[in-house]
A and B are shown apart, each in its own frame.
Chain A
Amino acid sequence: MIDFFRKQKYLIDFTLASLLRRKGKNFGLLFVYTLIVFMLASVMLFTHALRHEAGIILQQSPEIILQRMVAGRHALMPADYLDRIGRLRGVVEKKGRLWGYFYDPAVKANYTMMVDETKGLSTTETIIGAAIARTRGVGIGDWITFRSHDGEAYSFLVTDILDTVSELVSADLVFLSEKAYRVTFGVPDGYFTDLVLSVRNSREVQKIAEKLSLKLPDTRPILREEVLRTYDSIFSWRQGIVFVLLAGAVLAFVIFAWDKASGLSAEEKREIGILKAVGWETGDVLRMKFWEGAIVSLAAFILGYLAAYAHVFYGSASLFEPVLKGWAVLYPDFQLTPFIDGMQVATLFFFTVFPYTVATIIPIWQASITDPDAIMR
């Protein structure tokens, strides 16, 4: 057993020395390898963190959202629908919500305006997201002005700015009082944007949704579980699309690795010939080459993964910024919660180390079966 480890140590020593002797070639390979790991790991960590974030936010949202549909379009919800629902077994709480999108021509961005009774805002007060505060250049104690639906301008005192921990979602939020909301959007009393129902036992959600659509046939229930499921599959689907796009890069890398492994220089061939002649066995050369692959792979994997980690969690995934900016002008300055799991690492392993290893098996074997007497001819 000790012999086994000692032998591996000798082989690793030799491999490290021979890697360092061919710096140019090996650093080229290491660089490309690291880049591949970096790209895939960035995509993976980023989408995964987004999904995680979205999941956390949705955890706090109500189990059922009820929207009224008119001519297939989402319409305002009359307040008496709350009464028409009546008592449903399992529903803990039901209430109307007021929210909407507000286009601000000054910064050419959409805000999400919401009423939240629990914030205790007076009619002239507001709480805004950090991104809005940044782009409009306002702070706590400043006044911010919105134009209402009928052209009047109303000013609100900023009493608070939402914290930046999970800015990705709260960046464009504006909280108003109910009265201010109705005046700004012209939503008459007795109407809500939609209704939300809290259900205690998640197993009953399905049943309650069925009852709701019977009682209020012109409404559509949206279940939190369904949204979560959709999010889940959309995120992994997006990640998959990016991976398919990157498959070309991985393939190019594999061909590159194959080429590097099979295109041994005359110098390297001679070296393997010498090793075999002085008493190294085919298996020893294979093991030496295996360690070479392992060292390069490990270095590339760690470097690439760390770089991706820094990029996503400390550099706010700045390389993906242009892609994200597509859906909001108010680009959130967010810090994702660092999140790693075994599955990601295993998947990444199979997209990088596995293809590399498979691509090099045959070239390595070809190198290792050099005739021991080749250098004598």
Chain B
Amino acid sequence: MLLNPAIMALLLVSAVVSLMLLLAAGFGLQVVRHWDINSGSERQLNLERRTYLISTLLTWAFASELVSLLLFIYNAESMSGQFVGAMCATGVLNVNEWGWPTLFLKMMIFFSGAAWLALNYLDNQGYDYPLVKLKYVLLLLIVPMVLAEFYVQLRHFLEMDPDVITSCCGALFSADAEGVAAEVSSLQPRSAMFALYGTGVAALGSGVWYGLRRSGGPLFAILSGVSFVMALVAIVSFVSLYIYEHPHHHCPFCILKSGHDYAGYFLYMPLFFATALAFGAGMIAPWKRVPSLTEAVERDAPRLTWVAISLFGLFYLIATWAVLSSNLVMSEVWW
């Protein structure tokens, strides 16, 4: 399995990203230990120059992670032909116990990366770099995630055994099966819908509140995180069914296919970017009281928030439209 080019590419990326983060973390440790903004010593000047390298490395690392998340799903999709019982990406992720954790880790890295970059961007606007130690300590928390992703993904690909009969979305997301995925699918569409719109209203509301009143930024981030999870649940539970126009096909990946007009991209892209921006806004909002950052926070946090709100809004509109314009009628069954 390792000789598949897409798999080689994925392993290459996670190995290189791990190295980049280790390098950045090494520099970060030096910064945490020796940083003294008031000193004009050569060591301090060198550390300040290093911060440019770290920012560049991390921007690239997190951008690559995003592309590798896409490639990971594409690859799972394309490998579905090679496993008995796999008809789409779900089946391939299910080939062993490492598939789903890899996917979730990739998503987590993307979101933590976005939040970190937002913090980094903010800190670079304070003339005394007030958050410099904090941000490198936070960076040290991301490193284990990236290393774990490398390990888990490697296990996932190494242990792919074409003889294993895997269960695909039909089996995994069917309401009769057991497990988290099945519970998500068997969730009453009615409750899923309430959860989707309920959390959506809460997130949007807190965002608007922050945008207007400049308070409750972290709350907006948290509610956005919750509504992100609920949005995924709702996609599995009922939105996808309307897109497939099939009352039992719960699958979060098949909607990415051309047969469904790539509807998945229109749902996922606004959702992911909105959530990432919301995390960024929540990350920088609390630093308003640091004198050197006040101005930057006042300018950037609402800006991020408004863009996030618009993207969330777009997501809810598209999801609603997908349900309303579908030929599938469940009005007697569900509602």
Contacts and interface: CB of A to CB of B under 8 A. Distances in A.
Indicate whether A and B are direct neighbours in the complex (CB within 8 Å).
Answer: yes
Nearest to B74: A343
Interface string A167-200: 0000000000000000000000000000000000
Contacts of B77: 343
B85 to A, nearest CB: 10
Nearest to B19: A358
B60 A44 contact: no
B300 to A, nearest CB: 12
B331 interface: no
Given A229-B81, A232-B81, A358-B20, A347 B6 contact: yes
Contacts of A364: 56
A343 B78 contact: yes
B162 interface: yes
Interface string A218-239: 0000000100110011001101
Contacts of A341: 74, 78
A347 B13 CA distance: 10
A116 B8 CA distance: 44
A283 B12 CA distance: 28
Interface range, B side: 20 to 34
Interface string A327-366: 0000000000000011100110111001101100110110
Interface stretch (B63-71, B97-105, B140-148, B273-281): B63-71
A369 B67 contact: no
A346 B57 contact: no
A67 interface: no
Contact of A347 (B1, B5, B81): B5
B5 A342 contact: no
Interface residues of A, number: 34
A362 B3 CA distance: 30
Given A233-B162, A347-B71, A354 B82 contact: no
A240 interface: yes
A362 B78 CA distance: 35
B4 interface: yes
Contacts of B12: 350-351, 354-355
B52 A354 contact: no
Interface centre among A237, A243, A350 (most CB of B within 10 A): A350
Nearest to A225: B84
A351 B5 contact: yes
Contacts of A362: 53
A243 B8 contact: yes
A347 B73 CA distance: 12
Contact of A286 (B4, B52, B82, B83): B52
Given A342-B74, A358-B16, A358-B20, A244 B82 contact: no
A241 interface: yes
A342 B67 CA distance: 11
Contacts of B33: none
A350 B4 contact: no
Contacts of A15: none
Residues of A contacting B: mostly = helix
Contacts, number: 94
Contacts of B84: 225, 229
A4 to B, nearest CB: 12
Interface in A71-130: none
Contact of A282 (B20, B52, B83, B162): B52
B289 interface: no
Interface in B15-61: 16, 20, 49, 52-53, 56-57, 60
Given A228-B81, A343-B75, A347-B5, A369 B49 contact: yes
A354 B3 contact: no
Contacts of B20: 358
B3 A365 contact: no
B82 A350 contact: no
B91 to A, nearest CB: 12
A237 B4 contact: yes
A57 to B, nearest CB: 15
Contacts of A361: 53, 56-57, 60
Contacts of B229: none
A351 B9 CA distance: 6
Contacts of B57: 361
Contact of A354 (B13, B74, B83, B162): B13
B3 A346 contact: no
A368 interface: yes
B317 to A, nearest CB: 23
A216 B20 CA distance: 60
B67 A240 contact: no
Contacts of B8: 240, 243-244, 351
A236 B5 contact: yes
B4 A236 contact: yes
16 contacts: A229-B84, A233-B1, A236-B5, A243-B5, A244-B8, A282-B52, A283-B52, A286-B52, A286-B56, A342-B74, A346-B74, A347-B5, A351-B9, A354-B64, A358-B16, A364-B56
Given A343-B78, A350-B71, 8 more contacts: A229-B81, A229-B82, A229-B83, A229-B84, A233-B162, A343-B71, A354-B16, A358-B60
Interface of A: 44, 225, 228-229, 232-233, 236-237, 239-241, 243-244, 282-283, 286, 341-343, 346-347, 349-351, 354-355, 357-358, 361-362, 364-365, 368-369
Q: 9 tightest A-B contacts by CB?
A: A240-B3, A343-B74, A350-B9, A346-B71, A236-B4, A369-B49, A365-B53, A232-B81, A347-B9
